[in-house]
Amino acid sequence: MNPKVVAVVGATGLVGRKMIETLENRNFPVKAIKFLASERSRVRKLAYKGEEIPVEVLDENSFKGIEIALFSAGGSTSKKFAPIAAKDGCVVVDNSSAWRMDPEVPLVVPEVNAHEIKNHKGIIANPNCSTIQMVVALKPIHDFARIERIVVSTYQAVSGAGQNAVQELLNQMQAYVEGKPLEIKVFPHQILFNCIPQIPQKDAFEANGYTNEEMKMVNETKKIMGDPSIQVTATTVRVPVISSHSESVNIQTEKKVTVEKARELLANAPGVVLMDDPAKQVYPLATMAAGRWETFVGRIREDISHPRALDMWIVADNLLKGAAYNAVQIAEYL
Ligand code: A2P
């Protein structure tokens, strides 16, 4: 592949910095790299392969000469600047939710629907973090037995809500140890020692009682799998974990899938690591998935309440497979 001129938009954020790290770690062929963020980061520098690169303030002229731009600076920034970048001939891989459900924009998890990448018109959307890891694990089972219905509950890390959210959990831990009152700013309630069934933290609830995050899992799963007939219901929960989302997933299939068959399918699936030896207490954990690119699956069992259903536990690093690595993978396909 010819080296590319790359920009990272939102380079100073948690996902932005993981994007930079992933480009480095995967030896992405970079001819030149530009880091973009808001006015607040004007004087900052970020390292790329040992070189200190000044962060530039994003504006309408930022994309001249850029070939690939990885965006992770929030929905409103993507809404405004992705079309400007695309007009300048740049291909945008956008981590926000701004473009995901646009019928003109491919929504891509390379292990599932890499063939959609070529249909882009300048913008490719990176799906929601919880959705990505779920579809990586479910695609091989869907191909074999057709999934009719998915019931998922998530246990999502605070890093999915950005660096202020991680800091809030750490601050609450420290305040608790010191016997001081806990400060609540980012999350709607205390996150330390809690599970909060509301993601995102602001304006979460839709008219049907689901949160935006839950409806993303419903809608994005159908689009990525290319099958609007898959029924999905989700409950998404923030837990006091820093890295990696965990998911309890129940699937009902048209054709029965035994545990052995599911294990065989997952053992051979791209991007999946099967970790399923309950007798030895081997199953995926958030701490072991952190820093890894793969999606980990275990606790696979036949649902005793239904003749054609399986339960499983799916874990992945939400900032890597759930965001930065998936985006860089798409850029590699480009
Ligand atoms: P900055 O650091 O200058 O505020 P996180 O989700 O981890 O908080 O990161 C958000 C990222 O998006 C940061 O890099 C942030 O830059 C960037 N960002 C937020 N708003 C804008 C904006 N209006 N223009 C450019 N970058 C933005």
CB atoms within 10 A of CB 309: 20
Contact 122, 93 (CB under 8 A): no
CA–centroid distance, residue 38 to ligand 1 (Å): 6
Q: Per-residue confidence of the chain (334 residues) as pLDDT tens digits? A: 799 999 999 999 999 999 999 999 999 999 999 999 999 999 999 999 999 999 999 999 999 999 999 999 999 999 999 999 999 999 999 999 999 999 999 999 999 999 999 999 999 999 999 999 999 999 999 999 999 999 999 999 999 999 999 999 999 999 999 999 999 999 999 999 999 999 999 999 999 999 999 999 999 999 999 999 999 999 999 999 999 999 999 999 999 999 999 999 999 999 999 999 999 999 999 999 999 999 999 999 999 999 999 999 999 999 999 999 999 999 999 9
Take residue 38 and report the two structure tokens written for it: 């808001």
d(CA 246, CA 239): 10
* Residue 39 CA, closest ligand 1 atom number: 3
Ligand 1 site residues, Cβ closer than 6 angstroms: 10-14, 16, 37-38, 40-41, 58, 73-74, 77, 162-163
CA–centroid distance, residue 55 to ligand 1 (Å): 11
CA–centroid distance, residue 78 to ligand 1 (Å): 11
What is residue 154's predicted lDDT score, i.e. its pLDDT?
99
The preferred substitution site among 15, 38, 319 for testing ligand 1, maximizing ligand atoms within 8 Å of CB, is 38
Residues 6+ apart with CB under 8 A from 71: 9, 10, 77, 78, 81, 82, 92, 93, 94, 95, 96
Contact 70, 30 (CB under 8 A): no
Determine which residue's CA is closest to atom 24 belonging to ligand 1.
38
* Residue 41 CA, closest ligand 1 atom number: 3
CA distances from 55 to 10, 12, 185 (A): 10, 8, 27
Determine which residue's CA is closest to atom 9 belonging to ligand 1.
13
pTM above 0.75, yes or no: yes
CA–centroid distance, residue 161 to ligand 1 (Å): 12
Is 90 assigned a catalytic role?
Answer: no
d(CA 109, CA 125): 9
Is 189 assigned a catalytic role?
Answer: no
**Residue from 90, 120, 142, 245 carrying the catalytic annotation:** 245
d(CA 277, CA 299): 8
What is residue 1's predicted lDDT score, i.e. its pLDDT?
72
* Residue 73 CA, closest ligand 1 atom number: 12
CA–centroid distance, residue 301 to ligand 1 (Å): 42
* Residue 13 CA, closest ligand 1 atom number: 9
Contact 107, 78 (CB under 8 A): no
What is residue 83's predicted lDDT score, i.e. its pLDDT?
98
**Residue from 90, 120, 129, 142 carrying the catalytic annotation:** 129
